[in-house]
Chains A and B, each alone.
Chain A
Amino acid sequence: EDQVTQSPEALRLQEGESSSLNCSYTVSGLRGLFWYRQDPGKGPEFLFTLYSAGEEKEKERLKATLTKKESFLHITAPKPEDSATYLCAVSGAGNKLTFGGGTRVLVKP
């Protein structure tokens, strides 16, 4: 059974204080690893897809990386508007999407 574990559960940052979120996964036949951003009371918004180890994707202050066992979402010089819950998900051989529990990020000015 595919599994996704995100850590930490919550992260408090000062504005400008860079940090990383971790997504550890076990999956049979990785088809893709996905990152989403979710604001309180809203639906998740797609950010990135990573397909193979060594791949990296960037968007503004966010950078996602992938190894064979985990993915990191690096937040560089975050701003208060980066406050959100970040969700990680994997798709395996069964083409089923498995989500992690998310990391709640709070960036204080």
Chain B
Amino acid sequence: DGGITQSPKYLFRKEGQNVTLSCEQNLNHDAMYWYRQDPGQGLRLIYYSQIVNDFQKGDIAEGYSVSREKKESFPLTVTSAQKNPTAFYLCASSIDRTGELFFGEGSRLTVL
């Protein structure tokens, strides 16, 4: 079955550590996205990529980094510069840049 796979589902990190969240899709979609979800708030866009080897900052890119070396993969690194990294992170993809997104199951990051 086609879909988006995020890993790990749960991750704990000590302050000062970088962590990388994995996102893989087999839908053959060109566009991929990373969102952050905090309780009571709407999804906020961190980074997006429309094609391989190209990506753009979203609304809250500070403290995060991404790469897009393969069409299927769009990993997100949460760096130690991110001041408040505890959140639920969602990866998504779309055929083109429409609002019809396919989401993964999410990764919950907790900083201890």
Contacts and interface: CB of A to CB of B under 8 A. Distances in A.
Contacts, number: 54
Dominant secondary structure of chain A at its interface with chain B: strand
Nearest to A99: B42
Q: How large is the interface on B (under 10, 10 to 19, 20 to 34, 35 or more residues)?
A: 20 to 34
Given A42-B105, A43-B92, A44-B103, A97 B45 contact: yes
A34 interface: yes
Interface stretch (B14-22, B63-71, B72-80, B93-101): B93-101
B43 interface: yes
A45 B92 CA distance: 11
24 contacts: A4-B42, A32-B98, A32-B99, A34-B99, A43-B4, A43-B6, A43-B90, A43-B92, A43-B103, A43-B104, A44-B90, A44-B101, A44-B103, A45-B103, A46-B101, A49-B99, A87-B43, A89-B43, A89-B99, A95-B97, A96-B45, A97-B99, A100-B42, A101-B41
Given A43-B4, A46-B102, 19 more contacts: A9-B40, A32-B98, A34-B99, A41-B105, A42-B106, A43-B90, A43-B103, A43-B106, A46-B101, A49-B98, A49-B99, A49-B100, A89-B43, A91-B98, A91-B99, A95-B97, A96-B45, A97-B45, A101-B40
